[in-house]
Amino acid sequence: MEWTAELALDARADLGEGPLWDAAGSRLVWVDIMAGRVNAFAPATGRTQSWAAGEPVGAAALRASGGLLLALQSGFAALDEATGALTKLAGYEAATPEVRMNDGKCDPAGRFWAGTMAFDQRPGAGALYRLDPSGAVATVLTGVGISNGLDWAPGGQGMYYVDSPTARIDLFDYDAATGAISGRRPFVRIEEGAGWPDGLTVDAAGNVWVALWGGSAVRCYSPAGKLEGVVRVPALQSSSCAFGGEDLGDLYITSARTGLAEDVLAQNPANGGVFVVRTGARGRAPWKYSG
């Protein structure tokens, strides 16, 4: 099947990423990484909000205690939306000026996972980290190129993960009790010329929706790895996706303007926008950090 997404918010983001639905606020939360901005968009009213992180911010997550948890270049921090103040919670191994956070998400047990990449995208400079509810940070993977999308299969039976330069979505065995992952194997390989796998989300039926950077698309794969559908996105660099709305039936897609020439942007003015499409699929509410 094929669908076409429509522009929901003309955000003109430099590097829009990490969308997640906050049901309590009926809003989409997302980040503009290099601008260091955390953003919120309420589709029903059109209201937007934005907070400055003061440094590159790779991802945001909801906290069970309220508010947002951020994966910053320098580490993990809580955001007070009322004041904009940040409270540093933890650093991470190998935090340097050459490396930044790039994507992250909470798992079913309330742990926050976030990965890194080098600013110059050199191979193997990134890693994947896990912030446990205790506040301890574990290094889960090293030798990563561009740590990107991740999510969990229904019932926590596995974890999907993207290291973009591999052109794959990988699948790990996942231990919900300990947070350990093992048994890495390819789930889907993206063919040359289709774009690079970026952010992803898993719907309630277990299908995997992945944004293709440079591919102007989001693809849907069944739990068996079969291509089930394609969402066409009127932006060259679709970066991530998440289900939202009252029935979790709206697929929101972020995009980016970074690296695009002025003439390309003039011909494609929606680049950097947030898009939406209804495909008939339903998502799951995001898990919250329980620390």
Q: Which residues are catalytic?
A: 198
Please, are residues 189 and 165 in contact by the beta-carbon 8 Å criterion?
A: no
Q: Which helix (H) or strand (E) holds 32?
A: strand 27-32
Comparing C-alpha atoms, which of 114, 156, 119 is closest to residue 138? 114
| Nearest-angstrom CA–CA distance, 57 and 70 | 7
- What are the tokens at 206? 């277990």
DSSP β-ladder status, 238-244 and 250-255: antiparallel
- What are the tokens at 157? 């039976």
User: For the chain, what's the residue count?
Assistant: 291
Please, are residues 59 and 68 in contact by the beta-carbon 8 Å criterion?
A: no
256 pairs with which residues across the strands?
A: 15
| Nearest-angstrom CA–CA distance, 98 and 96 | 5
Comparing C-alpha atoms, which of 115, 78, 79 is closest to residue 99? 115
What CA–CA distances, in Å, run from 224 to 140, 187, 272?
25, 8, 32
DSSP β-ladder status, 99-106 and 227-232: unpaired
Q: Is 186 in a helix, a strand, or coil?
A: strand
105 pairs with which residues across the strands?
A: 113
